[in-house]
Amino acid sequence: MILRLLPALAFVVMSGCSAISALSGASRPLDAYTLSPVSTEGTRSGGRHMVVHASTSSGEYSSDRIVVKPNRLQTEYLPGARWIDETPVMIQSLLVDSLQKSGGYRLVGRTDGGLIPDYGLLTDIAAFQAEAPSDTMGAWQVRVGLTGTLVRDSDGSIIASRRFEQTAVAANDQTMTLVNAFDTAMQQVQQQMVAWTLSHAR
């Protein structure tokens, strides 16, 4: 009887090993990537305080995964890669750094930093994705679209609102190539947003 059970036990053990191996492979950490803030030269230091709120977004942009759009109706995620933080939080961090480096404000912070601000910057993520070419002759591109809204903290009134969108071409669909294209497009959006913010809230 014992001899008859041995093959069955061996099968169970091997099956368990296979399952653990598959689970281990599925839980391997993803490579993490980040993007760069921008510096604006020659801006005079201001005395105001600015708070940048975490970006709002639809579900497809709410995680730390890098969004790829094979077509306008489909969403996938770049395999083996993620952003260093959830996309809305990463964008918030970039804008805080870029606005602080502009020199236009005495202090720029987040909503959870205890800062009593003069102004608040709200952002909504309209697009933050790599887009596959529509035909064999086309090129990959990255699209970054943010809607910015400036509010006066004292009364919550809206000062200005604008949509910013930039694209950058990627030579191929390799992860580093796409991330570099994200960096290019995001830097262009940040430059525009910083200049716009300084022109309306100083």
b or e along 171-201 (b: 16 or more beta carbons within 10 Å of the residue's beta carbon)? eeeebebbbbbbbbbbbbbbbbbbeebbeeb
| Distance in angstroms (rounded) separating the CA atoms of residues 130 and 70 | 9
Q: Is residue 1 part of a domain?
A: no
State the total domains in the chain.
1
Residue 108 to residue 47: CA distance in whole angstroms? 11
Distances (CA, A) of 59 to 5, 56, 63, 87: 51, 10, 8, 11
Tell me whether residue 45 is in a domain.
yes
In a domain, 152, yes or no: yes
CA 5: distance to chain centroid? 55
CATH code: domain of residue 80:
3.40.50.10610
C-alpha triplet 183, 145, 109: angle, nearest 5°: 75
More confident residue, 112 or 67: 67
Give the model's confidence band at 113: pLDDT under 50 very low, under 70 low, under 90 confident, else very high: low
pLDDT of residue 17: 39
Residue-number span of the structural domain to which 186 is assigned = 31-200
Residue 107 lies inside a defined structural domain of this protein: yes
Rounded mean pLDDT of 116-144?
94
pTM of the model: 0.83
- Strands 140-152 and 119-131, sheet pairing: antiparallel
Q: In the predicted model, what is the mean pLDDT of residues 52-80?
A: 95
- Give the tens place of pLDDT for each residue, 162-171: 999 999 999 9
Predicted confidence at residue 44, as pLDDT, reads 66
Is residue 66 within 8 Å of residue 186, measured between CB atoms?
Answer: no
CA distance 143 to 3: 64
The per-residue pLDDT of the chain, averaged, comes to 86
